[in-house]
């Protein structure tokens, strides 16, 4: 399977509905014709079944289609034929998700990535190196292909402490045991990035041939249970990483590569955790780990999985330098982005997390976060606050913080902000309920019980002729018919039903969205200008795009060169491609003379980090307009993240006026 086909499969598996050939082409950086070719090749590999799918002629130019649910293109046949993995129709393509995922799993061993991983494992096991010519013969590939794979292997070695020594056709991997385990972990984490979180996928990627995939799940569950019994909180995502490292240690020990013991005296905590890990490794992986491995894994558990619940013997001492750095970083982010996070309990928890993060970073043993992409796309403002905190901590503690680690900080920030965000999103409501005795009280009680804090009842009208025009709340919940119903009115039965509750929730959701997007529309009209609209944007990479979009703002004196450099530096910390189509580059400091947006639209797509995007919205924010940051930044990402809305804007927004008109129209719904 080619790399492009793998990328196409990943896109189709993430897309819940139909997606056009044009959209897929833009995301892959190829032509729609190439997309159709890849799909035909994938469908040709489908297993035999009772049905066959014929390509629909409309799919060839469906990149502009707005059709509703497409007609089925499955043609019945009396004889068994290949079943379509990817169905085509007027609205584009849609995957049979289960079948396509199975194809990816079955084809994994033959992929370029797995051949590369196989070469790494061969180097790991060969104490005297490998003969590249023999490797090429065994794999039935050319020597040039193996040489190309070796170049990629060298890229994988970056940051692991390993190197490759060449002597003619012979290649030798050089690195100590910890460095080699770090490399195995990197291979498995790369597999995680491609969506394989199952035990078999990780076992194969890490080359753990001596272990059973079925042992991973029970090990993790029992580890979490035993740690909880000893008074520790368990990080579910990081515990999967610990299981992987224990499995790597067990496999390496079974092949005669143990870690030597250290001369350091382990703490009581480490001894207890070492006992837990050792017993579970023996039970599930059938390997007895030595003192060196157990000490290393116990330390790893302490820096990845656990935080004390405060009970005796579980306290984790906090480094004062780390705590001071976190206090400064949180204070700066709270002031800069106007977020309510500077609380002692939050700072304590985040400091413990950062302390563990610092240990991982200095050991070059980072934790992966499977929620990184979804956090960036769904909560861009929270992620931005996390980037600010990470940037300050990086500067103060001189430690590298990668994007997955930033995502963990974002989870802390999001947890702290969730309560205040819910409060800000609360809607006001008026109840209109003329009735007998205490009917309105019963109605209000039921609404409070069912709707919770999301809707606050601020007025109750019990007259049959209320002042409808004077009601200024977000919602009007009435048991009598209003003279002129509007979008905020929900008519209810006197004794409220589940159907009534669903209708209230639906109207409330629309009102919240309308409230947010109305505010956004006003902000956008202030911050856009015709001079800062580039279509087509032709840029070779993200830095080139940032410089092109900065030029009109520089010419207007809105920003200076320091802001441009700060935007490029922010991009290096963590990609601002918050969705697969949109990037919003900006600096961490709000030093623009006034808030402004510079928009660039690519014809097709441009390369941005490891992916490709279509729209770039460079944001310049000023200190005096910090409140605009949350409105513009978060809601602009929300609007342009909706595929249909984005395609409409791209299709019709050929100039600045058309772009702004379509953006406002999309906001208005």
pLDDT tens-digit readout, 513-565: 777 666 666 677 778 888 899 999 999 899 999 999 999 999 999 999 999 99
Q: pLDDT (tens digit, 9 = 90+) per residue, 609-668?
A: 878 888 999 999 888 877 766 667 777 777 777 777 888 888 888 888 888 888 877 776
Q: Are residues 504 and 563 in the same domain?
A: no
- 492: confidence class by pLDDT, cuts 50, 70, 90: confident
Please give the pLDDT value at position 65: 40
Q: Which CATH number does the domain housing residue 448 bear? A: 3.40.50.2300
Domain C-terminal end among 424, 450, 485: 424
Of 223, 115, 132, nearest to 169 by C-alpha is 132
Q: Round to whole Å and give the CA distance between 175 and 172.
A: 10
Q: Are residues 414 and 432 in the same domain?
A: no
Q: pLDDT (tens digit, 9 = 90+) per residue, 215-234?
A: 888 888 888 888 888 777 76
Of 426, 452, 516, 440, nearest to 477 by C-alpha is 440
Q: 308 or 102: whose pLDDT is higher?
A: 102
Q: Are residues 538 and 640 in the same domain?
A: yes
* Token pair recorded at residue 73: 């293109």
- C-alpha pair distances (Å), 608 with each of 400, 580, 588: 22, 10, 19
Q: 541 or 511: whose pLDDT is higher?
A: 541
Q: Which CATH number does the domain housing residue 540 bear? A: 3.40.930.10
Q: Are residues 216 and 273 in the same domain?
A: yes
Question: 275 phi and psi, to 5 degrees?
Answer: -65, -40
- 109: confidence class by pLDDT, cuts 50, 70, 90: very low
Q: Are residues 243 and 274 in the same domain?
A: yes
Domain assignment present for 212: yes
Please give the pLDDT value at position 51: 43
Domain with 358, as residue range(s), is: 320-424
Please give the pLDDT value at position 437: 57
Is 77 exposed, middle or buried (CB count within 10 Å of its CB: 0-12, 13-18, 19+)?
exposed
- 34: confidence class by pLDDT, cuts 50, 70, 90: confident
Domain assignment present for 133: no
* Token pair recorded at residue 628: 């605009």
Domain assignment present for 313: no
Q: Which CATH number does the domain housing residue 55 bear? A: 1.10.10
**Residue 113, C-beta contacts closer than 8 angstroms, at least 6 positions apart:** 3, 6, 190, 194
CA dihedral (247, 180, 609, 107) positive or negative: negative
Task: Please answer whether residues 298 and 246 qualify as being in contact, where contact means their C-beta atoms are separated by less than 8 angstroms.
Answer: no
* Range of lowest pLDDT (105-109, 344-348, 606-610): 105-109
Q: 496-499: list long-range contacts, CB under 8 Å, 24+ apart.
A: 496/443, 496/446, 496/447, 496/450
Q: Is the pLDDT reported for residue 79 higher than 70?
A: no
Please give the pLDDT value at position 321: 92
Q: Are residues 42 and 73 in the same domain?
A: yes
Question: 469 phi and psi, to 5 degrees?
Answer: -65, -25
Average pLDDT over residues 44-63: 50
Look at residue 418 and give its three-state secondary structure: helix
- 69: confidence class by pLDDT, cuts 50, 70, 90: very low
Q: Round to whole Å and give the CA distance between 650 and 657.
A: 13
Q: Round to whole Å and give the CA distance between 177 and 161.
A: 10
CB atoms within 10 A of CB 597: 24
Q: Which CATH number does the domain housing residue 254 bear? A: 1.10.1790
* Token pair recorded at residue 560: 């200076």
**Residue 152, C-beta contacts closer than 8 angstroms, at least 6 positions apart:** 116
Q: Is the pLDDT reported for residue 278 higher than 60?
A: yes
The DSSP code for 84 is: P
Domain assignment present for 93: yes
* Range of lowest pLDDT (162-166, 261-265, 385-389, 573-577): 261-265
Task: Please answer whether residues 496 and 468 qualify as being in contact, where contact means their C-beta atoms are separated by less than 8 angstroms.
Answer: no
**Residue 632, C-beta contacts closer than 8 angstroms, at least 6 positions apart:** 520, 523, 524, 527, 595, 597, 619
**Secondary element (H or E) of residue 595:** strand 591-608
Average pLDDT over residues 467-480: 87
Average pLDDT over residues 491-515: 81
Domain assignment present for 195: no
Domain assignment present for 241: yes
Q: Are residues 636 and 580 in the same domain?
A: yes
Domain C-terminal end among 424, 452, 487: 424
Q: Are residues 418 and 432 in the same domain?
A: no
Q: Round to whole Å and give the CA distance between 82 and 220.
A: 39
Q: Tokens 């039903």 sit at which residue?
A: 497
* Token pair recorded at residue 315: 């306290």
Q: Round to whole Å and give the CA distance between 576 and 314.
A: 39
Domain C-terminal end among 64, 89, 106: 106
Q: Are residues 41 and 67 in the same domain?
A: yes
Q: Round to whole Å and give the CA distance between 284 and 278.
A: 10
Adjacent-strand bridge partners of 597: 619
- C-alpha pair distances (Å), 199 with each of 124, 226, 586: 21, 21, 39
Number of H helices, E strands in the chain: 25, 17
Alpha-helix residue ranges (DSSP H) falling in 363-458: 372-378, 380-397, 403-424, 439-451
Q: How far, rounded to the nearest angstrom, does the alpha carbon of residue 573 sit from its chain's CA centroid?
A: 15
**What per-residue string of b and e applies to 493-517 under the rule 16 or more CB within 10 Å gives b?**
eeebeeebbeebeebbeebeebebb
* Range of lowest pLDDT (37-51, 351-365, 466-480): 37-51
Please give the pLDDT value at position 138: 84
**Residue 32, C-beta contacts closer than 8 angstroms, at least 6 positions apart:** 21, 22, 24, 25, 60, 61, 63
Q: Round to whole Å and give the CA distance between 270 and 85.
A: 50
Please give the pLDDT value at position 252: 87
Average pLDDT over residues 413-437: 71
Q: Which CATH number does the domain housing residue 387 bear? A: 1.10.1790.10
Please give the pLDDT value at position 585: 93
Question: 499 phi and psi, to 5 degrees?
Answer: -65, -40
Q: Is the pLDDT reported for residue 213 higher than 90?
A: no
For 172-211, give the DSSP string.
EEE--HHHHHHHHHHHHHHHHHTT--SHHHHHHHHT-TTS
Q: Is the pLDDT reported for residue 108 higher than 50?
A: no
Domain assignment present for 196: no
Q: pLDDT (tens digit, 9 = 90+) per residue, 348-398?
A: 888 888 888 887 777 666 677 767 877 787 778 888 899 999 999 999 998
Q: pLDDT (tens digit, 9 = 90+) per residue, 143-177?
A: 988 898 899 889 888 878 899 999 998 999 999 88
Please give the pLDDT value at position 74: 39
Q: pLDDT (tens digit, 9 = 90+) per residue, 337-350?
A: 878 888 888 888 88
Domain assignment present for 79: yes
What total of structural domains would you count in the chain? 5
Average pLDDT over residues 297-326: 73
Q: Are residues 449 and 570 in the same domain?
A: no
- C-alpha pair distances (Å), 341 with each of 12, 116, 169, 337: 38, 45, 58, 10
Task: Please answer whether residues 436 and 445 qualify as being in contact, where contact means their C-beta atoms are separated by less than 8 angstroms.
Answer: no
Q: Are residues 328 and 418 in the same domain?
A: yes
**Terminal alpha carbon distance of the chain:** 41
Q: Are residues 287 and 389 in the same domain?
A: no
Q: Is the pLDDT reported for residue 422 higher than 90?
A: no
Q: What is the mean pLDDT of the chain?
A: 79
Please give the pLDDT value at position 557: 93
Q: Round to whole Å and give the CA distance between 444 and 452.
A: 11
Please give the pLDDT value at position 58: 40
Q: Is the pLDDT reported for residue 279 higher than 90?
A: yes
Of 600, 612, 599, 604, nearest to 541 by C-alpha is 612
Average pLDDT over residues 556-581: 90
């Amino acid at each position: 399977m080619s790399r492009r086909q793998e990328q196409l499969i990943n896109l189709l598996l993430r897309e819940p509905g139909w997606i056009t050939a044009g959209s897929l082409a833009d995301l892959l950086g190829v032509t729609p014709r190439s997309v159709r070719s890849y799909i035909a090749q994938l469908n040709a590999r489908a297993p035999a079944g009772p049905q066959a799918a014929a390509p629909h002629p409309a799919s060839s130019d469906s990149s502009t289609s707005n059709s509703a649910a497409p007609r089925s293109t499955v043609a019945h046949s009396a004889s068994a034929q290949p079943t379509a993995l990817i169905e085509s129709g007027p609205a584009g393509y849609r995957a049979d998700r289960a079948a396509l995922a199975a194809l990816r799993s079955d084809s994994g061993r033959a992929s370029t990535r797995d051949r590369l991983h196989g070469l790494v494992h061969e180097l790991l096991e060969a104490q005297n190196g490998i003969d590249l010519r023999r490797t090429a013969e065994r794999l039935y590939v050319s020597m040039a292909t193996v040489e190309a794979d070796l170049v990629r292997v060298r890229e994988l070695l970056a940051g692991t402490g390993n190197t490759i020594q060449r002597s003619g056709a012979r290649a030798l991997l050089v690195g100590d045991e910890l460095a080699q385990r770090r490399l195995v972990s990197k291979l498995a984490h790369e597999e995680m990035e491609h969506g394989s979180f199952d035990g078999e996928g990780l076992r194969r990627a890490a080359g753990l041939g001596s272990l059973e995939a079925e042992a991973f799940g029970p090990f993790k569950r029992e580890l979490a249970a035993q740690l909880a019994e000893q008074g520790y909180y368990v990080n579910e995502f990081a515990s999967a990483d610990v299981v992987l490292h224990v499995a790597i240690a067990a496999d390496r020990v079974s092949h005669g590569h143990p870690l030597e013991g250290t001369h350091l005296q382990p703490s009581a905590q480490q001894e207890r955790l070492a006992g837990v890990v050792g017993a579970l490794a023996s039970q599930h992986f059938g390997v007895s780990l030595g003192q060196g491995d157990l000490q290393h894994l116990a330390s790893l558990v302490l820096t990845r999985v656990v935080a004390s619940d405060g009970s005796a013997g579980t306290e984790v001492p906090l480094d004062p330098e780390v705590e001071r750095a976190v206090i400064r970083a949180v204070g700066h982010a709270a002031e800069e982005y106007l977020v309510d996070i500077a609380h002692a309990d939050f700072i304590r928890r985040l400091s413990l997390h950062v302390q563990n993060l610092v240990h991982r970073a200095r050991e070059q043993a980072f934790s992966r976060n499977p929620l990184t992409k979804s956090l960036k796309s769904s909560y861009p403002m929270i992620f931005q606050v996390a980037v600010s905190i990470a940037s300050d901590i990086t500067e103060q503690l001189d430690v590298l913080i990668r994007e997955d680690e930033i995502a963990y900080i974002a989870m802390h920030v999001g947890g702290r902000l969730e309560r205040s965000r819910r409060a800000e999103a609360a809607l006001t409501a008026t109840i209109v309920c003329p009735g007998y005795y205490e009917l309105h009280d019963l109605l209000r009680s039921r609404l409070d019980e069912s709707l919770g804090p999301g809707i606050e009842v601020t007025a109750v009208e019990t007259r049959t002729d209320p002042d409808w025009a004077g009601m200024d709340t977000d919602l009007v919940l009435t048991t009598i018919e209003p003279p002129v119903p509007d979008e905020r009115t929900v008519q209810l039965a006197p004794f409220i039903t589940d159907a009534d509750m669903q209708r209230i929730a639906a109207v409330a959701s629309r009102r919240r969205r309308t409230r947010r997007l109305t505010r956004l529309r006003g902000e956008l009209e202030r911050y856009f200008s015709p001079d800062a609209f580039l279509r087509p944007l032709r840029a070779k990479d993200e830095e080139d795009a940032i410089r092109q979009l900065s030029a009109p703002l520089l010419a207007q004196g809105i920003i200076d060169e320091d802001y441009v450099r700060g935007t490029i530096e922010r991009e290096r910390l963590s990609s601002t491609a918050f969705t697969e189509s949109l990037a919003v580059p900006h600096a961490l400091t709000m030093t623009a003379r006034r808030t402004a947006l510079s928009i660039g639209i690519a014809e097709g797509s441009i390369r941005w980090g490891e992916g490709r995007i279509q729209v770039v919205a460079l944001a310049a924010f000023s200190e005096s307009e910090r409140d605009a940051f949350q409105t513009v930044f978060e809601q602009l990402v929300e609007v342009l993240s909706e595929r249909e809305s984005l395609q409409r804007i791209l299709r019709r927004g050929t100039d600045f006026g058309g772009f702004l008109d379509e953006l406002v129209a999309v906001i208005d719904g």
